[in-house]
Amino acid sequence: MASMVPLSVLDLSPILEGSDAGQSMRNSLDLARHAERLGYRRFWLAEHHNMPGVASAATAVVIGHVAAGTSTIRVGAGGIMLPNHAPLVIAEQFGTLASLFPGRIDLGLGRAPGTDQITARALRRTLAGDVDRFPQDVVELMAYFKPAEPGQMVRAVPGAGLDVPVWILGSSLYSAHLAAKIGRPYAFASHFAPGDLLEALAIYRREFKASATLPEPYVMVGVPAMAADTDEHAEFLATSMYQRSLGIVRGQRAALLPPVESMEGRWSPGEQMAMAERMALMVVGGPARVREGLQQIIAGTEADELIIVSDAYRPEDRCRSFDLIAEAAGLPRTID
């Protein structure tokens, strides 16, 4: 049987139907504290815009909120969509976070807009060349974290000389080539786009060039999961995640909905097939089924770490899901 690897949390700070963003961010902090006690390694937040169901648009701000309310768990971005921002601004933001919370901040970078094209234009004011410049922007950003050189005209203050770990995120083959070329850890967004997962990991490992910060390839795989005390209850709770994913397939962004008894009749055969592709790595069940599912993913991907998305509608069910996932994985609790 495959041995377990470190587990982390990817939080979309979901806004629940009938609730608001403020409560969602309070829920995120509660979950981060819970994950810290359970022994999860990281708590990452994602940048999305113009989405009524996601509260983490100002990702660096929410990271600060979560890091201030925890003490040991690493907190970071999974990720910052760099084409939306000037590299210097992100260097300053994460230099600030790293100064406030030394040794606990991660910076994951992606090249997608994290939204629709109209909103992307509102964010960037123009779409010309932004995505194409992603590799150069990543290199520029990493340079701002190096110690400042004499006579250097532009510095990240704070940021220069700080060891902020930079990850490359992706859901396609493009990011695998880049992460390998610059010798950075690689996180694949297989929690919603698993189609290219195995090929991307093979490319990354084959082309990897050691860097000063990473001598060997390091892979983190995104896993959508829902755990409960019984398989049946987990299947019920998972319908909230299915409904959200179905809304994305339909181009309908909405708050996270309560679970339903069945998805039967809620999607067409074509939509059900699209959902099955998006959620191919979904692990749902009680502790035994969850453990088996996680072991299969680890064995199939040889991942160094898994990052889990588990968005039950009720916060207490979400915490319970991460509790049971940690138990299934045998995580050592770090705080009593």
* pLDDT tens per residue, range 291-321: 999 999 999 999 999 999 999 999 999 999 9
Q: Given a cut of 60, is residue 336 above it in pLDDT?
A: no
**Domain-located, residue 258:** yes
Q: For the chain, where are the alpha helices, taking DSSP H only? A: 21-38, 59-68, 87-100, 117-124, 134-144, 173-182, 197-207, 231-249, 269-278, 287-301, 315-329
What share of the chain has pLDDT > 70, as a percent? 95
Of 40-44, 101-105, 233-237, 326-330, least confident by mean pLDDT is: 326-330
Name the band, by pLDDT with cuts 50, 70 and 90, for residue 114. low
Which residue did the predictor score with more confidence, 148 or 63?
63
What share of the chain has pLDDT > 90, as a percent? 76
Q: How far apart are CA 116 and CA 136, in angstroms?
A: 23
Q: Given a cut of 90, is residue 248 above it in pLDDT?
A: no
Q: What is the mean pLDDT of residues 58-67?
A: 97
Q: How far apart are CA 38 and CA 322, in angstroms?
A: 8
- The H or E element that residue 10 is part of is strand 7-11
Q: What is the mean pLDDT of residues 106-115?
A: 84
Q: Given a cut of 50, is residue 125 above it in pLDDT?
A: yes
**Domain-located, residue 14:** yes
**Domain-located, residue 1:** no
Tokens matching residue 116: 């629709």
CB 29 within 8 A of CB 13: no
Residue 168: name the closest of 126, 124, 112 by CA. Answer: 112
Q: What is the mean pLDDT of residues 29-45?
A: 97
What's phi and psi for 301, nearest 5 deg? -110, -15
> How many other C-beta atoms are found inside a 10 Å radius of the C-beta of residue 50?
15
Of 1-15, 157-171, 203-217, 308-322, least confident by mean pLDDT is: 1-15
Partners of 105 in the beta sheet?
75
- The sign one gets for the Cα dihedral 251, 257, 259, 265 is negative
Q: Given a cut of 90, is residue 251 above it in pLDDT?
A: no
Whole-model pTM?
0.93
What's phi and psi for 149, nearest 5 deg? -90, 150
Average pLDDT value for the chain = 92
CB 83 within 8 A of CB 115: no
Number of domain units in the chain: 1
Name the band, by pLDDT with cuts 50, 70 and 90, for residue 1. very low
What DSSP character marks residue 14?
A: B
Tokens matching residue 37: 């006690």
Q: What is the CATH number of the domain that holds 165?
A: 3.20.20.30
**Domain-located, residue 2:** no
SS3 label, residue 24: helix
Q: How far apart are CA 282 and CA 80, in angstroms?
A: 24
Name the residue range of residue 262's domain: 7-329
SS3 label, residue 107: strand
CB 49 within 8 A of CB 16: no
Q: How far apart are CA 239 and CA 265, in angstroms?
A: 13
How confident is the model over 68-110, as pLDDT tens digits? 999 999 999 999 999 999 999 999 999 999 999 999 999 999 9
Beta strands 186-188 and 105-110, pairing class: unpaired
Three-state SS letters, 54-97: ECCCCHHHHHHHHHHCCCCCEEEEEEEEHHHCCHHHHHHHHHHH
Q: Given a cut of 60, is residue 2 above it in pLDDT?
A: no
**Domain-located, residue 235:** yes
CB 193 within 8 A of CB 171: yes
Q: What is the predicted pLDDT for the residue at 254? A: 83
Give the N- to C-terminal CA distance of the chain in Å, as an integer: 29
Q: Given a cut of 50, is residue 173 above it in pLDDT?
A: yes
Q: Given a cut of 80, is residue 335 above it in pLDDT?
A: no
Q: How far apart are CA 312 and CA 242, in angstroms?
A: 11
